[in-house]
Amino acid sequence: MKLSSVHNLSSGDTSVNYIVEVEAEVLKDIIKKADKVCGTLEPSMRKLVFLSEDERLYVIASDGCLSGYFPVVPFYSKITSPFEVPLDVVKHFVSELSGKISLHFQDGVLSLKSQNEILRLRIAPFQKDREEKIFVPKHPEGAAFSKRKLLSEIDFASSFLEEGSYVDLYFSRNALEVISQHYGLVAYSRLDVERNTDNSEMVSENDVVSFSIRIPYVSTRHLIKVLEIEETNQVQFSFNPIRNKVIIFSGDTFTMCADIPEETPHMLRNLCSRFEPKIRILSSLLQRLLRRSLIAGRFSDVEIYSRHGEIVVVSQHGPIAYKGSIPIQRESEEVRFSFQTKAFMLRSVLNRIGSQHVLIDNVDEYVLLAPPSLSRFLVVRNQRIQ
């Protein structure tokens, strides 16, 4: 797509006066990605930040933790300091435009012009929470993963979480372990690295720095949504311990704030390695009972237990009680278990377990549920005395 070059209309460095032309579809695509990054939970974060660096004009969007850096056009001048404009106003203006859009920066005003329409925005200096220079991060060679598989595992781990929850990522040598927990329900999965298809000279996975990080649930969901519309098949993950940031590259560059997990994956890894499936049930039948058990709405509690060749689901709220059961398709030996959880949470994660069948086993004092591939596990404490 041919883009016009940038013309600096001012000979002095103190007067900001630039014009740049960009194709409407390019700007729409950037706004679509920025929209996914910002989300809707915090309206005050729905801003577009303009920045020039390395002879390019960039748009930056953030939800306060996840940030996306999107190149717009070549830009051979320098914006003195980053500035921001409302995302939703720009999104509305460009939504029906086609052809070229002229961006005119002059005297504290950003003007967007297309044919006989023009939008003028008084720009505001970008407000930094910390006294650090804003810049577009370089993406070091990281561990490469299949985008489809990575998003699937992160979606599985975050599907039953709520605001204030976290997803833990543990990378070492050639694998990424993904763990989350909420209301006593624990999700565990493992994903192997791939060879980088974009760079045949990529460093070995053994050279990628190991990391253990904890990322917020809300930003995790935003990351899933924006990566879904990135036109790449691979995602590279790396961690900058100095800035305490995850760096994600998938055509565009993203960063995410991170904390250090409180636990290691060793216990979960050990439990899952000892899993020997003894019960098989249809996931759809269990999901149906969980849906039917929502007698108290979204936050209905359920008890699930095994009994004489069937799985029983019980829910009670005040004077209202629900009970349903499904047959066990196959049972190699009797497995006695009982556990409690939130119906909608278990239903959400079962919907992403990746198989029409669910296998069940007891390992120590825990109940484990997994698909036949044994690539993902749900772990919950067994409340039945053995």
Residue 131 CA: distances (Å) to CA of 67, 105, 126, 127: 17, 25, 12, 10
Residues 186 and 235 in one domain: yes
Q: Answer whether residue 175 is part of any domain.
A: yes
* 166 in the same domain as 112: no
Task: Judge whether 287 lies within some domain.
Answer: yes
Verify that 165 and 186 share a domain, yes or no. Answer: yes
- The residue from 208, 234, 267 where one domain ends is 267
Domain identity same for 153 and 257: yes
Per-residue confidence (pLDDT) for residue 207, from 0 to 100: 63
Residue 117 and residue 44 share a domain = yes
Same domain, 82 and 173: no
**Cα–Cα distance for residue pair 311/303, rounded to 1 Å:** 10
Reported as type and span, the H/E element at residue 286 is helix 283-292
Question: Is residue 134 one of the residues assigned to a domain?
Answer: no
Are 172 and 193 in the same domain? Answer: yes
pTM above 0.75, yes or no: yes
Say if 131 falls within a structural domain: no
1 vs 266: CA distance, rounded Å: 50
Task: Give the helix/strand (H/E) hosting 184.
Answer: none
Angle between helices 24-38 and 87-94 (to 10 degrees): 140
What digits encode the pLDDT tens for the residues 296-341? 888 899 999 999 899 999 999 989 999 999 999 887 888 899 999 9
User: Which residue range is the domain that position 319 belongs to?
Assistant: 274-381
Instruction: State the Cα–Cα distance between residues 193 and 213, nearest whole angstrom.
Output: 17
What does the block give as tokens for 351?
A: 């919907």
Quick one: DSSP state of residue 142? -
Number of structural domains (the chain) is: 3
pLDDT at 80: 75
122, two tokens: 């008084």
**Domain termination site, one of 94, 125, 156:** 125
* CB-based burial, 347-385: b 16+ in 10 Å, e otherwise: bbbbebbbeebbbbbbbeebbbbbbeeebbbbbbebeee
Asked whether residue 206 falls in the same domain as residue 261, the answer is yes
Please give the pLDDT value at position 265: 95
DSSP tally for the chain: helices H, then strands E: 7, 27
Residue 249 lies in a domain: yes
Q: Are residues 38 and 84 in the same domain?
A: yes
Do 335 and 315 fall into the same domain?
Answer: yes
Q: What is the pLDDT along the chain (386 residues), one digit of tens a residue?
A: 333 333 443 333 334 578 899 999 999 999 999 999 999 988 999 999 999 999 999 999 999 999 999 999 998 888 878 899 999 999 999 999 999 999 998 888 999 999 999 999 998 777 655 445 677 888 777 899 999 999 999 999 999 999 999 999 999 878 999 999 999 999 999 999 987 665 545 445 456 778 999 999 999 999 999 999 999 999 999 888 888 889 999 999 999 999 999 889 999 999 999 999 999 999 999 999 999 999 988 889 999 999 989 999 999 998 999 999 999 988 788 889 999 999 999 999 999 999 999 999 999 999 999 999 999 999 999 998 44
pLDDT of residue 16: 57
Residues 158 and 56 in one domain: no
What pLDDT, in 10s, does the model give residues 81-99?
Answer: 889 999 999 999 999 999 9
What was the pLDDT predicted at 5? Answer: 37
The predicted pLDDT at position 127 comes to 66
Domain-located, residue 220: yes
Sign of CA dihedral 259, 262, 266, 272: negative
Considering 96, 125, 154, which residue would you say is the last residue of a domain? 125
CATH code of residue 374: 3.10.150.10
> Does residue 329 sit within a domain?
yes
Same domain, 235 and 281: no
162 within a domain of the structure (yes/no): yes
Determine the Cα–Cα distance for residues 244 and 239; give it in Å rounded to an integer: 7
Helix axes 343-350, 283-292, angle to 10 degrees: 150
